[in-house]
Structure formats: structure tokens, C-alpha cells
Amino acid sequence: MKIFIYNIGYFLLEAKRTIRLNPLSNLFSVIGTGLILFLLGMVLAGWSVGDKLIVALKDEAEVSAYFMENTNEKDALKLVNAIKGMEGVMDASYIDETEAKAQMEKMLGNEADILGLFDENPFEAFIEVKINLDYMDQVLSDVAKLDGIDYVRDNRKVLEQMKGISDGLKLFGVLIMAAVGITTLIIISHMIRQGIYNNRDQINTLRLLGAPDGFIGFPFLLAGTFLTLLGGGLAAGLLILLLNEGYSHLSGFIPFIPLPSLEELSDKVSLLILLVSAALGLLGSLFGVSSIGKEE
Amino acid sequence: MIEAKGVSLTYHDGTVALKDVNIEVKPGELVYITGHSGSGKTSLLKLLIGMEYPTSGSLKILGQPIKRGKARKIRKLRKKIGPVFQEFKLIEGRTALENVMMGMRFLGISPRKMKTEAISALTKVGLEHKIRSKVENLSWGESQRVAIARAVARKPELILADEPTGNLDHDNAINILQILNSFRDNNTAVVITTHATHLIENQEDATYIRVNKGEITIEHSSEKIV
């Protein structure tokens, strides 16, 4: 530890020398690592958006029961009470035409002006039934059988599709993470081995003078971690640009999608990429530095 | 300090470098290893610094057995040795001072003390005016002296110098030998290989190990016949 503290300045200078010894090769390694980590960042961002979407849709797990014609409000409230008593139903409430329109206006947000095109309120009254997803089939069947209920509309298909996409994205993400991890480790450890090869005379001299492998290898470890972090920084920068650009387009086209906030997503994914790059840089450098011992 | 009993060294290609070597070097001793090129001097020195292992016999340096499988302990042992290599092994792109300090960085010496000791060693070898010079800009003799400063600044118990007079003119060679000899004290032994036997005549209180085709004969200064 004493040796480490006494030599912090030396280690940093040696790491700088190692990087400058082969600047072009190191630059390409940084760009390569950065692009690979950028790919990982995109998957992580997709993952995050998908998760948010699923959670939002699950929160909205509900069915809408529409009345037969000539059902008055009194009968409708009786139906609401009957539905409330069913297993798997968390809540049920009567939504009249005005409230139905208000809900849609809220959902459309800035685009709600479109509803002004209608002369009359196009929405009809219904019962909003919040359910436990596990009981969806049973609740649908029971509600549909009730007298006075014309038809029941559910968002099961959407939920199932979204869940499928989310699961696929997760699997894809895991595969990408594995590929990114292995590729980064190979690039970094190769870069370090190259640095060690370029400094082989110095390393041999240090060995003959009795320097321990840890002392010899530490500057390479610093250099490798720094270069990978640089790649991580590049990836985070590109990702922030991409997210800014993507959000400015997405929010206009698909206002219904409940995206996580841009700042939250950018910060989360950038931080994750930097942490992953630091960890991979350290690990890759350790693999590379392990070759010092083998040369004796 | 050095205890070799029946040591032989045969390289992988079958070349026999040393045969049945028996040596004992005590603290404070000055030892010259002489012999023609290819006689086995450097092989003997490589054994002493743990770059090669005896193929038979027993060798101990500062109490540490030199044998295969002891790499980590031999690396530790090297911290107590001040080697001066034939080709110097200075690190280019660094100054003379940085090179000397490089040999001390892993000895647990504080940076301030390390710098003071390194400057002192460079001053002793007459290079106080070159401490900031890059080693690639130094002459052969100056590089040799930086290598010596790097070896002695570590306060080693054993100084091993391989052909330190090679490629130097007579005066510079004598000067280098005198410098190396000056670092000998009660705790530090100095072992020097050289083929230039004319430079080490009339040396008082020295041991001469003559190597010829891998076999050695030992003489002391009082009985020396070169």
C-alpha cells in the first residue's frame, strides 16, 4: 500500500506514456469500444422504455363494459354493484358520456383539439372495471353474461403483445450485453497486451531489478480503464444525442406512449454505460496485465 | 552472500555453460570474474541474479536458493541486488534521475528520500550535471555510470556488474572500476565480470574467479597471476 501511495504520480505518468506510445491504435480502440457500448446503451434505453410501457399498461389493466340500448342510469348502477362483487374485480365505476369524453381529452393531451371536430359528444357511457390481470378471462366472461351488458372491450391483446415485445427485448438485451462484454474485454485486453509488448524492454528491466508484477502492471491497468471509460463517455454522448433526437420525433407522432422522461432516461442509461465501461475496462485490463506474469 | 556448490548450467540446446562451480563470496568482498568472451562469465552472472537456474548443484544468494519454482522469492531477492547490465538496460525517454529512481520505486522509500538518494548516487558517479538529461542523449560512459548509480542507489547487499568496462577507453574503464569498488563496504560485496584483465592488475584485497570453458579457478590478490 505504501508503495502504491508513494508512486501515484509515477503510475499516472506511466499510464499516460503507455497511451501516447501507440496513439492511433488506442484511438481506434476507444472508438470501437465507444460504438459497441453505444449499441448496448441503445438496447438499455429500449429496455427502459419497454418496461415503462408495460408497467403503464398493467396499471391500466381494465375492461370496459358497454350497455345495451335503453339501459337507464339506475340499472347501470345496479350492474356496477354486481360487477364489484365479482372475484378478480378490484374496482368498478360508472363513466357517463361527459366523463368518457374528458378521459379521452386527457389521454390526447395537446392533440385533444381533434375532438372539437365532432358536433356532438361521440362517446357513450360505460362501466370501467379495474381487474387483476390473472382473472382477466373469468371476469370478461362473467361481465359479458350480465343482463344489460351489450359487449365488453379489453386491452388484453395489446398487453400480451407488449409483454412479448418486452420479453424479446430483454432476451435481445441479455445477448447484446454478453456480446458487448466479451468484445470489450477482448479489445481492451488486446490493447493492454500490445502496450505490454511495446514496453517489454522496460518490463524486463523492472523484473530484473525486482519490481513485483503488481507494480509493473498497475500503469497498464490505469491506461486500460481510462481508455474504456473514454469509450464509455463517447457512447454516453452519442446516446444522449440520439435520445434527444428520438424524443423530439416520438412525442409528436405517438402521444399515447407513456415514455420515461428524457432527463431520467439519459441520466440513467449514461451512468449505467459509464459504470459498465469502467467495470469492463478494469476486467479487460486485468486479463491483459495477467500476460506480464506469463512472460517470465 | 554467494554460496555455490557443484553448480552446473547446461542450456536447452545442450551447450554446457558452467561445470561444477564452487564459490563462496562473503560480505565486503570484491570479486572479479575474468575470462575470454564465451567462457561462461555472463552465464555465471545470470545465475547469480536468478535469470538462469542451475541444472545441477546448489546455489544460494543472500540465503535464497536459486532454483526453478522460486520465481516470486527470487524477484524479492533482486531488490537486495544492484545489477549493472552489460547493455545497461536504461529506459529511454526518461532522464538519468528517473532511471535511477525507477530502480527504487518499489522498495518502499518515500518520494523525497528516493529523489535525494538518487541525486546522491548520480553525484557519486560524477553525473550531477546530467540528472535531467534523457539517457538516449548520454555518451556510452555516462550511460554506464547511470546504470551504476541505479544499482547503488538501492543500497544493495550485492552489486553485480557485467562487463562494466566494455567499449570504454582505458581511463574511463579504470574510473568505472574505481567507482564500483568505492561502493564496497562491510555489508556490500561487489562482483564484476570483465575480459580486460590488464585493467584489474595489482588490485588489493580482491578475489579473482577465472572462467575457462565453463570451469573456474579461484585466486586471491596475494597469489594472483593473470
Question: What's the whole-number mean pLDDT along residues B104-128?
Answer: 91
Can you tell me the distance from the alpha carbon of B117 to that of B101, in angstroms, rounded to the nearest whole number? 9
Average pLDDT over residues B130-156: 92
Range name among A54-58, B105-109, B183-187 with the lowest pLDDT average = A54-58
Looking at CA atoms only, how far is residue B84 from chain A in angstroms?
A: 10
User: In CATH, what number is assigned to the domain containing residue B99?
Assistant: 3.40.50.300
pLDDT at A171: 85
In a domain, B157, yes or no: yes
What pLDDT, on a 0 to 100 scale, did the predictor assign at position B9?
A: 93
Q: Among A15-19, A156-160, B9-13, B20-24, where is mean pLDDT lowest?
A: A156-160
Range of the domain at B84: 29-52+79-223
Which parts of B13-169 are beta strand (E)? 16-25, 30-34, 56-61, 64-65, 81-84, 158-162
B58 occurs within a structural domain? no
Q: Please answer whether residues B91 and A203 qualify as being in contact, where contact means their C-beta atoms are separated by less than 8 angstroms.
A: no
Q: Give percent above pLDDT 90 in chain B.
A: 47
- How does A245-280 read in b/e, with b if 16+ C-beta sit within 10 Å? ebbeeeeeeeeeeebbeeeebbeebbebbbebbeeb
For residue B147, tell me if it sits in a domain: yes
Structure confidence by residue, pLDDT tens digits, B145-158: 999 999 999 999 99
- Return the higher-pLDDT residue of A119 and B210: B210
Q: Cα separation of A48 and A266, whole Å?
A: 11
Residue to substitute from B52, B75, B80, B84, interface A, most A β-carbons within 10 A = B75
- Count of domains forming chain B: 1
Write down the mean pLDDT value for chain B. Answer: 88
Going by DSSP bridges, is the β-strand pair B16-25/A62-67 parallel, antiparallel, or unpaired? Answer: unpaired
Query: Residues of B with CB below 8 A from A210's CB?
Result: 75-81, 106
In a domain, B74, yes or no: no
Q: Are A41 and A235 in contact (CB under 8 A)?
A: yes
* Domains defined for chain A, CATH in brackets: 2-57+160-294 (no CATH), 61-154 (3.30.70.3040)
Q: Is residue B210 part of a domain?
A: yes
Contact A7 B105 (CB under 8 A): yes
The whole-number pLDDT of residue B101 equals 94
User: Looking at residue A295, what is its pLDDT?
Assistant: 42
pLDDT at B223: 57
- Is B112 inside a domain boundary? yes
Residue whose cell numbers read 345495451: A68
Residue A292: the pLDDT is 74
- pLDDT value of residue A256: 58
Angle between helices A213-253 and A262-294 (to 10 degrees): 160
Structural domain includes residue B67: no
φ and ψ at A154, to 5 degrees? -125, 165
C-alpha cell at A10: 509515477
Chain B, residues 132-151, CB within 8 A of chain A, namely 150
Chain Cα centroid distance, residue A101: 34
Instruction: Name every residue whose Cβ is closer than 8 Å to that of residue B107 and which is 6 or more positions away in sequence.
Output: A3, B79, B154
Q: Between A and B, how many residue pairs show a Cβ–Cβ distance under 8 A?
A: 57
Is B40 at the interface with chain A, CB within 8 A? no
Which of A101-115, A184-198, B62-76, B106-120 has the lowest average pLDDT?
A: A101-115
- Rounded CA separation A282/A221 (Å): 7
Answer positive or negative: Cα dihedral of A249, A251, A254, A260. Answer: positive
In a domain, B12, yes or no: no
Residues of chain A predicted below pLDDT 50: 295-296
Using a CB-CB distance cutoff of 8 angstroms, which residues of chain B are in contact with residue A7? 105-106, 111
User: For chain A, how far is it from start to end, CA to CA, in angstroms?
Assistant: 24
Q: Is the pLDDT of residue B130 over 50?
A: yes
